[in-house]
């Protein structure tokens, strides 16, 4: 069976550096950090007192106030990003066969704030017997963002959530890509959302020693590939891509950002939180994506790396890139936009896929910020071009986006310039 081609026809984003795709992209190119003191709860007794929060977003401009109260914040962010992407795609939903449009949306944790609130309320009032909000479960569960988007638009195609920690939304994109090229859908609204900036989220990651504690200078806390990195910066947000079968997109005169050409998936099979020190799973997933795309290492011009600013993870990913790409590794641009957005957990892959698509479209690489020339790790090869501190213009024929999650889950996607 001949596989169908898949293109990107719509984008949406709500991130710590912008509440639209345009604002996010502009601030990423300018090297703006989204990290600041936490505003959503009293964190004065926590080891980490800052995060990358979404700022100044009025969800009621996008979602009916009554309906929004039935949703966890992660679902609200998902719906806003999806609404932007659907609008951007230019699809006339009155003319579309909604049985052939699906929704696959990833989340790493789900409604953790809803869970925290309900359990706290129960603990305070348990002597009076159990009393829970009737929307507790529907607000909390990880599939509900996909369900709410489907309900909002009446999309009746494939509909589910992917949960693989920080690889969740990249897995969502991979699944959407495969379903479309197999002919099972005309288009799929795909991406990811997360909203874990709460006491349980920050406290839990603090207990693992996973978060940066650079409370005196939050904006410079996320510093991938620098020797002084001390953990990731937790973030919230959502990203959404409209993936569409090429002939369907052409028939309706859609604008095309880029073509999605390959995906890869692998496991480290090593540790519940740490990446394999030699990047074994990272090597496998990048090789798998290249093979799926029918591409050679030298065909890739940019990798948006996982690059979380953790001591072990950054080293292992750099090693993996060198092994997979060989001499071509030194001709690549590499950057970690988590240096600006922080780590959006289950939403990271979707936002970073969007960044990769925009790099292909605009021929420019956003930077990895917060690197000082004398802050070098002896285990990292700085002959690789990490695009430190300043965006770089270059022709981007194809871009790869890596995401690696707790549990050893690895996912990778590739986009290239569309050529009919």
217, 361 Cβ separation under 8 angstroms: no
Contacts of 98 (CB under 8 A, 6+ apart): 153, 154, 155, 156, 157
384: how many CB neighbours lie within 10 A of its CB?
19
Rounded Cα gap, residues 212 and 326, in angstroms? 32
Rounded Cα gap, residues 320 and 27, in angstroms? 29
204, 47 Cβ separation under 8 angstroms: no
- Choose, from 52, 166, 240, 412, the residue flagged as catalytic: 166
Is 200 annotated as catalytic?
no
Per-residue CA distances from 262 to 13, 30, 147, 296 (Å): 22, 29, 26, 12
Rounded Cα gap, residues 279 and 323, in angstroms? 9
Distance of CA 49 to the CA centre of its chain: 23
117: how many CB neighbours lie within 10 A of its CB?
18
Alpha helices by DSSP H, 218-337: 246-251, 280-293, 311-325
Q: Annotated active-site positions, please?
A: 166
């Amino acid at each position: 069976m001949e596989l169908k081609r898949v293109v990107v026809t719509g984008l949406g984003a709500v991130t710590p550096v912008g509440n639209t795709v345009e604002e996010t992209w502009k601030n990423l190119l300018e090297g703006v950090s989204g990290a600041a003191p936490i505003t959503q709860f009293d964190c004065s007794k926590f080891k980490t007192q800052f995060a990358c929060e979404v700022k100044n977003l009025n969800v009621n401009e996008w979602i009916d106030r009554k309906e929004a109260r039935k949703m966890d914040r992660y679902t609200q962010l998902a719906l806003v990003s999806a609404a932007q992407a659907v609008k951007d795609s230019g699809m006339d939903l009155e003319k579309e066969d909604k049985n052939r449009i699906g929704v696959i949306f990833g989340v790493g944790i789900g409604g953790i704030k809803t869970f925290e609130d309900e359990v706290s309320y129960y603990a305070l009032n348990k002597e009076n017997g159990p009393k829970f909000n009737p929307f507790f479960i529907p607000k909390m569960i990880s599939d509900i963002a996909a369900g709410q988007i489907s309900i909002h638009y009446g999309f009746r195609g494939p509909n589910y959530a992917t949960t693989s920690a920080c690889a969740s939304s990249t897995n969502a994109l991979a699944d959407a890509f495969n379903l479309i090229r197999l002919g099972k859908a005309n288009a799929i609204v795909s991406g990811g959302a997360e909203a874990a900036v709460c006491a349980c989220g920050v406290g839990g990651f603090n207990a693992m020693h996973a978060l940066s504690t650079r409370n005196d200078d939050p904006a410079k806390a996320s510093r991938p590939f620098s020797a002084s990195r001390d953990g990731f910066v937790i973030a919230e947000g959502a990203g959404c891509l409209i993936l569409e079968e090429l002939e369907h997109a052409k028939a309706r005169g859609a604008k095309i950002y880029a073509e999605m050409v390959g995906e890869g998936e692998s496991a480290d099979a090593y540790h519940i939180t740490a990446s394999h020190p030699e990047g074994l799973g990272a090597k496998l997933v990048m090789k798998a994506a290249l093979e799926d795309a029918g591409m050679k290492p030298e065909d890739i011009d940019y990798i948006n790396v996982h690059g979380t600013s953790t001591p072990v993870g950054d080293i292992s990913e750099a090693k993996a890139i060198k092994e997979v790409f060989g001499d071509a590794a030194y001709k690549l641009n590499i950057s970690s936009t988590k240096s600006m957005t922080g780590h959006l957990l289950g939403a990271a892959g979707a936002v970073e896929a969007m960044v990769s698509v925009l790099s292909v479209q605009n021929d420019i690489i956003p930077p990895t910020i917060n690197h000082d020339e004398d802050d070098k790790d002896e285990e990292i090869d700085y002959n690789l071009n990490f695009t430190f501190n300043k965006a770089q213009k270059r022709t981007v024929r194809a871009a790869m986006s890596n995401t690696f999650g707790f549990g050893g889950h690895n996912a990778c996607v590739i986009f290239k310039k569309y050529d009919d």
